[in-house]
Structure 1
């Protein structure tokens, strides 16, 4: 029986990205299949992101063995009943210079654990999985065949030599329309590349669920911009434009400069509009995982030598320490990390719950600022109370056709969930099992 949800996760791991991926892998097989993990630059460079994803599989393989030895439920049907593909994608934005968040997530994206806790990192030979094999002589071939299978961590994932955006298009092309949800928890560069190469195939997806932006709140890298959008606003603008009846009405203006990739315009007539669901800071900032909640689940398991609990403690502890330094009044057990990226996976798993509610203005005309000197990456929403016009004609009081019936983007921005306090419990219970 096919799972209720089949997803592609586009990611730049990142601590909260790892939490989101673990949540997806820990879901029951009948609820979710992760078909592809596609990697992009973002929190750290794309090669560091790849190492972090390989580390997830490396740790989970150890965890599953430990659980079996302990007589505990195995779980993680996302890798025991499926074998996700892992593909490397964009290593820089479509335009302008690269931005990273290593100042927050650490130089390796996981609070430095590859250096401080090297025994949790996979052996370096994993890199060979993502490189074209060299031409072998008979002696080299024999040596390779004698390599122990456990020396190369491929049991639980399939490495791809194809660029991530091409893997996305292949999976969408080879499966029925409206059966694969695309989840973006990093910059939208890979999705923009896929949509540019073959927009009609990209529109075969069921929905794009993306973490990014802020409309009613404040930014986390500038006063108005959230990191994922800021890192490649041009890519975000192109993906958002596919939600418009007339994509050309919100397409970004190409920049001129040292870093600018030529991207073709979309055809004037597309078969459908993209369904775009946005998890912005407006909702994610209010769903927190506290030190108290994490320790309540992980501490006893770590003491029993659970590889997963020990590994997560290794990067969660310094991250929660950092949050404690940043937010006075939330010291000690009250220190907390926002569950930005896990909310996207939680939404896909529980979207039938009627407590998920978008903003009252949804679908909203939300656009991405790509050219502003101080407003790069701003997600601009129309908060005016005026109604749409019957015509798309330009008039002095509506520059940009924000009130036109046919122009503008159509974005569903989630503002309410099944509960702010529910998210962390759901995440931890799914990953570790109920306390």
Structure 2
């Protein structure tokens, strides 16, 4: 049976990123196929997050052997056994800014020192040669000889691999789930917009819309890490992408503008902090699940216990005594959506929203801006603005409103974002996540 969803995961592991990857790989082959894991800088620098991805597959290989020896749950991790995703290296830094990292929360290696505490669960350093394009003499995906049966290393850059997959697979058959800074996605979209728009859906964990930010009062980490990339990607949801593209600073843009006309608009589903933060995994629930597995010798339990309790201890230190430490499952929530997106309990804002990203504010960089003035768009009530049957995206009469220089009241301008509001249940997600990841 063909997989229900074929996805590319663009990620910067990171604690909750690893949980998201484990959730995806633990799916049944009918539910999900992970075609590629596209790695970007983010929570920690690029080489550290890449090491964490390679280590994850190394631990899973040990875990599957352990489960086989115990005769445990042979049907688990169907997606891991049925498909072999490409792992590709992406951007080392944002398009135009200095690198922002979150090692104060995730630890210097992104996983609270797990490689030093469990060297037996870390891959040999020879993994680094797998991604060396000079060793192969040419770019492209190659089999990692005698290294891992669960992934294929790419010697080509992540954004080009992303485009190759979108070009080779049927249109509207691949979804990109972006749970880190959007630099890789922006680079793919810029290099070949029409191929990029073959994507079925872009699912983004990012932003804070009606709630406070987590790195500044108004900005969420992924968006703040590369606000320009986010603004460029969001612009592809607009009938007129030029209307929300970020301004060119310092006299030069790293990436060129989009063509004046594109064949379609991007479907972007946004999971901001507003919906992700309430989905929490608490220390007590996690340890109740893994403690029996630790006693039995599960490699996966040993590995995850180290960085999860490191995270819980960090949260305790931030909140003070008396709090039940909870890790917000930001990134795993996007994978849960991919597994269950036909569930009617997923609710989005009733209409697509014009959400724009601030890219040059001194205090507001990365902020998600929406128009809360409640003013009607005249063109929505006036038939003088029509579309062409030959090109529905091309307005015959532009709805220019005096004094509306930024196009907030124009049906032609602005972004069209599908913002998620609720899931099938924040109170059940953590338990379901643990049940899928562990036996």
Give the structure-2-normalised TM-score: 0.91
Contact 2:114 2:307 in 1 (8 A): yes
Deviation per residue, 1:135-159 (Å, 9 max, x gap): 99xxxxxxxxxxx96xx53211000
Question: Secondary structure of 1:90's match?
Answer: coil
Deviation per residue, 1:279-322 (Å, 9 max, x gap): 00001111100012111211111111010011100100110011
Give the structure 2 partner of residue 251 of structure 1.
245
Q: Does 1:200 align with 2:200?
A: no
- Looking at structure 2, the residues matched to 351 and 272 of structure 1 have their Cα atoms a distance apart, in angstroms, of 23
Unaligned runs of 5+ in 1: 137-147
Give the structure 1 partner of residue 167 of structure 2.
173
- Looking at structure 2, the residues matched to 321 and 262 of structure 1 have their Cα atoms a distance apart, in angstroms, of 40
Number of residue-to-residue matches in the alignment? 414
Give the structure 1 partner of residue 390 of structure 2.
none
Contact 2:401 2:409 in 1 (8 A): no
Give the RMSD, CA atoms, in angstroms.
Answer: 1.6
Contact 2:197 2:266 in 1 (8 A): yes
**Residues 261 and 79 (structure 1), Cα distance of their counterparts in 2 relative to 1, 3 Å cut:** farther
Contact 1:165 1:191 in 2 (8 A): yes
**Deviation, structure 1 residue 415:** 1.1
Give the structure 1 partner of residue 355 of structure 2.
366
Give the structure 2 partner of residue 308 of structure 1.
300
Give the structure 1 partner of residue 407 of structure 2.
401
Contact 2:133 2:156 in 1 (8 A): no
Unaligned runs of 5+ in 2: 138-143, 380-397
Give the structure 1 partner of residue 345 of structure 2.
355
Q: Does 1:317 align with 2:309?
A: yes
Give the structure 2 partner of residue 280 of structure 1.
272
Q: Does 1:224 align with 2:218?
A: yes
Give the structure 2 partner of residue 346 of structure 1.
336
- Looking at structure 2, the residues matched to 267 and 261 of structure 1 have their Cα atoms a distance apart, in angstroms, of 15
- Looking at structure 2, the residues matched to 244 and 350 of structure 1 have their Cα atoms a distance apart, in angstroms, of 27
Contact 2:38 2:88 in 1 (8 A): yes
Contact 1:330 1:336 in 2 (8 A): no
**Deviation, structure 1 residue 337:** 0.2
- Looking at structure 2, the residues matched to 15 and 167 of structure 1 have their Cα atoms a distance apart, in angstroms, of 25
Contact 1:9 1:34 in 2 (8 A): yes
Give the structure 1 partner of residue 393 of structure 2.
none
- Looking at structure 2, the residues matched to 356 and 67 of structure 1 have their Cα atoms a distance apart, in angstroms, of 34
Question: Secondary structure of 1:269's match?
Answer: coil
**Deviation, structure 1 residue 394:** 3.6
**Residues 98 and 261 (structure 1), Cα distance of their counterparts in 2 relative to 1, 3 Å cut:** farther
Give the structure 2 partner of residue 106 of structure 1.
107
Question: Secondary structure of 1:248's match?
Answer: helix
Give the structure 2 partner of residue 212 of structure 1.
206
- Looking at structure 1, the residues matched to 377 and 276 of structure 2 have their Cα atoms a distance apart, in angstroms, of 29
- Looking at structure 1, the residues matched to 11 and 399 of structure 2 have their Cα atoms a distance apart, in angstroms, of 37
Deviation per residue, 1:237-262 (Å, 9 max, x gap): 000000001101101112218xx652
**Deviation, structure 1 residue 399:** 3.9
**Deviation, structure 1 residue 335:** 1.2
Give the structure 1 partner of residue 394 of structure 2.
none
Deviation per residue, 1:20-42 (Å, 9 max, x gap): 00000000000100000001111
Contact 1:320 1:335 in 2 (8 A): yes
